[in-house]
């Protein structure tokens, strides 16, 4: 251990006194600062009190502001609604303006058209006035024409009455002529039979007493008497067609045609005949007279196919026709169509007697029978290629009087 140094003791004591004094100073400063803090604390409390008061005032002001803002929102909505209404009104006004402009243009166009229309009306008025003037003149002419027509109508009525009288006279004359024809034909039959009989007697019993050149004359007399007899028979048939009433019956035409073909067998000997009879219907007709029609047409077909090595005779109906059309077709010699209008007249023949025999009455008889049945008959042909005769039948309740 060392010795105690007073000088060092003083320095140590001095060193200890300096921190103490500094601490005292710090404490004095802390007290002063504490005082200031207390003063500041009291000031802060005062400020806080003032703040609380101000906060109350601010809250009151805030609530007032919120009320104002709520009222402002309602007012804003009302203002926006009013604004929309104003905008809609403005749009309507714009559209109305456009409509007014369009109407104005339309009025201008109408006024322009009205001017043109007025001009047209004036032109039309002048034309109507001219027409009225022409109408007065035309009315005068029409009155004159009506007077002339009235005279012509009266003359026509007089002519019709005269025609009716003439027709009635013709009917009577025809009836008398048919009666006379029937009587004459009937009365001629006996003399013709006598001539034919006496010619046969002379040729058979007294042929040796005649010169050779005389016998042909007697033969021609006999042939002529036979032909005359056939003509008389045909005229009697034609007269009976006009005189007798029709007896209507539903008749099967196939059976009728087969009867006629059977009766014509004798004329078919030694010939090749191809009969082609189609499926024929049943019709309302006079069976006897309808059989006569087929007999005349088929016998004609047989006669005019004689030059053919193989004759084809066809009977049928036309398909796809609006009415029943029957036909008789052959592959015979035919005829020139320019003479077709003469076919159905009495005594009209298109071939010479030396070529084909006949009296010229058969087709006239068929024509009259068909007309009595309310139908019509016609023919089509070509020279060397055959002929086709067509005919129709009408309503039995509408018989045509052609007697």
CATH number of domain containing 360: 3.30.565.10
Q: What confidence category does residue 277 fall into, taking pLDDT thresholds of 50, 70 and 90? A: very high
Exposure of 176 by Cβ count < 10 A (0-12 exposed, 13-18 middle, 19+ buried)? Answer: exposed
> Is there a domain that residue 124 lies in?
no
Tell me which residue of 342, 383, 380 sits closest to 363, measured CA to CA.
342
DSSP string of 24-79, one letter each residue = HHHHHHHHHHHHHHHHHHHHHHHHHHHHHHHHHHHHHHHHHHHHHHHHHHHHHHHH
Given the structure tokens 């030396």, which residue do they identify?
A: 354
- Give the residue-averaged pLDDT of 373-399: 85
pLDDT of 166: 82
Question: pLDDT tens across 217-237, in order?
Answer: 767 776 666 666 655 665 566
Rounded Cα distance between 403 and 345, Å, is 15
For residue 359, what are its two tokens? Answer: 């009296």
| Residue 389 backbone zone (phi > 0: left; psi -120 to 50: alpha; other: beta) | beta
Q: What is the mean pLDDT of residues 26-44?
A: 75
Q: Any idea which residue has 């009506």 for tokens?
A: 146
Segment (H or E) for 157: helix 6-205
d(CA 137, CA 147): 16
The pLDDT value recorded for residue 257 is 95
Q: How far, CA to CA in Å, does 256 sit from each of 276, 372, 387? A: 14, 19, 22
In angstroms, the CA 192 to CA 198 distance is: 10
| pLDDT of 48 | 75
- Domain with 354 in it: 247-403
Residue 324 located in a structural domain: yes
> In this structure, is residue 261 part of a structural domain?
yes
* 296-323: average pLDDT: 88
Q: What is the pTM of this model?
A: 0.48
CB-CB neighbours of 177 under 10 Å: 13
Whole-number Å distance between alpha carbons of 189 and 228: 9
Please state, as a whole number, how many other Cβ atoms lie within 10 Å of the Cβ of residue 237: 18
Virtual CA dihedral for 247, 250, 252, 257, nearest 10 degrees? 20
**Quick check: is 350 in a domain?**
yes
**Are 383 and 332 spatial neighbours (Cβ–Cβ below 8 Å)?**
no
pLDDT of residue 184 exceeding 70: no
Give the C-alpha separation, 323 to 345, whole Å: 25
Which is more confidently placed, 30 or 306? Answer: 306
* Residue 402 burial (10 A CB sphere; 0-12, 13-18, 19+): middle
Q: What's residue 400's pLDDT?
A: 47
Q: Which among 92-101, 276-285, 391-400 has the top mean pLDDT? A: 276-285
Q: Is 342 within the bounds of a domain?
A: yes
Q: Are strands 310-317 and 272-277 parallel, antiparallel or unpaired?
A: parallel
What is the tally of structural domains in the chain?
A: 1
Find the distance separating the first CA and the last CA of the chain, reported in whole Å.
201
Residue 354 has pLDDT above 70, yes or no: no
Q: Which residues of 85-94 are buried (b: 16+ CB within 10 A; e: fewer)?
A: eeeeeeeeee
Residue 28 belongs to a domain: no
Is residue 267 one of the residues assigned to a domain?
Answer: yes
Residue 382, SS3 per DSSP: coil
C-beta atoms surrounding 143 within 10 Å: 10
Average pLDDT over residues 85-90: 82
**From CA 87, how far away is CA 93, in angstroms rounded?**
10
Residue 164 lies in a domain: no
């Amino acid at each position: 251990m060392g010795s105690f140094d007073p000088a060092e003791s003083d320095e140590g004591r001095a060193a200890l006194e300096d921190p103490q004094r500094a601490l005292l100073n710090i404490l004095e400063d802390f007290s002063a600062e504490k005082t200031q803090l207390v003063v500041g604390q009291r000031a802060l409390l005062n400020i806080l009190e003032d703040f609380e008061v101000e906060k109350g005032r601010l809250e009151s002001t805030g609530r007032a502001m919120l009320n104002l803002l709520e009222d402002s929102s309602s007012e804003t909505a009302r203002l926006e609604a009013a604004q929309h209404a104003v905008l809609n009104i403005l749009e309507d006004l714009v559209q109305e303006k456009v409509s007014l402009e369009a109407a104005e243009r339309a009025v201008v166009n109408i006024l322009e058209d009205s001017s043109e229309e007025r001009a047209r009306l004036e032109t039309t008025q002048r034309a109507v006035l001219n027409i009225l003037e022409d109408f007065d003149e035309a009315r005068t002419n029409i009155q004159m024409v009506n007077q002339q027509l009235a005279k012509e109508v009266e003359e026509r009525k007089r002519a019709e009455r005269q025609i009716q009288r003439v027709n009635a006279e013709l009917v009577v004359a025809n009836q008398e002529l048919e009666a006379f024809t029937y009587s004459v034909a009937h009365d001629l039959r006996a003399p013709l039979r006598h001539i034919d009989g006496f010619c046969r007697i002379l040729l058979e019993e007294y042929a040796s007493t005649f010169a050779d050149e005389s016998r042909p004359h007697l033969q021609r007399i006999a042939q002529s008497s036979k032909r005359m007899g056939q003509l008389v028979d045909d005229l009697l048939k034609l007269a009976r067609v006009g005189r007798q009433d029709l007896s209507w019956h539903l008749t099967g035409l196939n059976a009728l045609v087969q009867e006629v073909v059977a009766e014509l067998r004798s004329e078919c000997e030694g010939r090749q005949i191809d009969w082609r009879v189609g499926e024929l219907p049943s019709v309302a007709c006079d069976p006897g007279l309808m059989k006569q029609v087929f007999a005349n047409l088929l016998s004609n077909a047989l006669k005019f196919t004689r030059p053919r090595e193989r004759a084809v005779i066809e009977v049928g109906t036309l398909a796809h026709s609006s009415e029943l059309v029957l036909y008789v077709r052959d592959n015979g010699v035919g005829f020139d169509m320019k003479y077709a209008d003469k076919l159905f007249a009495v005594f009209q023949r298109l071939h010479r007697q030396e070529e084909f025999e006949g009296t010229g009455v058969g087709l006239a008889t068929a024509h009259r029978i068909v007309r009595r049945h309310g139908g019509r008959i016609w023919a089509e042909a070509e020279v060397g290629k055959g002929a086709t005769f067509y005919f129709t039948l009408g309503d039995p309740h509408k018989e045509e009087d052609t007697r």
